[in-house]
Every structure is written in C-alpha cells, then in structure tokens.
Amino acid sequence: MELLEKRILADGKIGEGDVLKVDSFLNHQMDIGLLCEVGKEFRRLFDDVQIDKILTIEASGIGVAAITAQYFNVPMVFAKKSKSSNISADVYTSEVYSYTHKRTYDIVVSKEFLHPGEKVLIIDDFLAKGSALRALMKVVSDAGAETVGAGIVIEKTYQGAGIELRNEGIRVESLARIAKLSVAEGIEFYR
C-alpha cells in the first residue's frame, strides 16, 4: 500500500536495537484518515471471503481493528492481555511471548464472543515473530471457529513469521512489508 509505505518512510523512526517506531501515526498517536484507508484496503483484499467477525489484541490493534470493522459491518472482538475482574471466567486462553518486553503473558477471549463455524479475520498492527497472531489463531481454533486470514498493517518479513505462516497455508495480507531495517541503512521494503 503506497500511502502507508510513504508514511513509514516519512514519519517512521528507527530506534535503538533497530526498532521501528511508528508512534506518530499508528500506535500511540493515530492518524485516523490513514487508518480509514487501511481499513478500506483490508476490505478490498478480503472482499472474496465471508467474514463474520474481526479479532485483534489489545492495545494498539484495537484502533485499526475498530476502524476496519466498519467496512465489513461485523463486530470486533479484542483479546485481553490479562484476566480482569470484569470478564467472565468462561474464556478461551492462549499464551504470547513478547519479544519487546521479554516475557510471556496470557490472552483471553470470552466464550460468549467466538462461536463454532464463525469466519474470523484477525487484524493487527504488526507481524514480527508471530507469537500474538498464533495465540489469536489458537483461540479461534479452540472456539471451533475458522481463521480465514490475517490483515497486518506492517510486517517485518526479516523476522520470518509471515513467510512461515503463508507456507502453512494461512492467508496473510500485509499492507507494508519491511525486508530490512537499520539505523545505518534505513528502511527497505520487500518486493
């Protein structure tokens, strides 16, 4: 998606440890106009399949998923990162390892909101090593529902998960794919 790639080049910052920071438009401040274009593009890409529900994970996935869901006219569900006293005990759960925070955490989705046979589109802001996406897929599968695909705003192809998942037959549509990233050489997209 050209608009997104241009924005990443213009406003993305490469931090220590070759981390891509897109805080100014995607995951701290959100450019809602851009997110609307992102949502429409996901709709275009997944227009050939039935989607009953959009699933994401808190926190920064929520904005993209909410905006995207309006173009599909379906409910959005976000997996929560820890069990809150406000959530039913009756949940699907899975484990995510966060490479950013170097720790494992649980995600939970109430059994009320995922049903057998539902066609689920997973939406997230980033795909790196795929731990969050695989945890969401497990939750969908535990519910007897089906992951019809994953819509990712920014994929870091050099971290491998996107390619692995596609090899396993999972449909992954990423709007920007980053092949290389370094303070010294900047950002190179995967073509």
Nearest alpha carbon to residue 150 among 114, 35, 168: 168
Q: Does 36 interact with its own copies (rule: CB under 8 A)?
A: yes
**Closer residue to its own copies, CB minimum distance, 100 or 167:** 100
Q: How far is the CB of 191 from its own copies (least distance, A)?
A: 26
Residues 6+ apart with CB under 8 A from 133: 122, 124, 127, 150, 152, 161, 165
**Closer residue to its own copies, CB minimum distance, 15 or 166:** 15
Span 103-132, contacts to its own copies by CB under 8 A: 109-110, 112-113
32: three-class secondary structure by DSSP: helix
Run of H or E including 71:
helix 61-72
**Closer residue to its own copies, CB minimum distance, 83 or 171:** 83
**Closer residue to its own copies, CB minimum distance, 166 or 182:** 182
Q: The tokens 């057998």 sit on which residue?
A: 116
Instruction: Mark 45-84 with x for binding to its own copies (rule: CB under 8 A) and - for no binding.
Output: -------------xxx-xx-xxx-xx--xxxxxx-xx--x
31: three-class secondary structure by DSSP: coil
- CA-based Rg of the chain, rounded to a whole angstrom? 16
What's the gap between Cα 28 and its chain centre?
15
The residue ranges that bind its own copies (CB under 8 A) are 15, 19, 21, 23-24, 27-33, 35-36, 58-60, 62-63, 65-67, 69-70, 73-78, 80-81, 84-88, 100-101, 109-110, 112-113
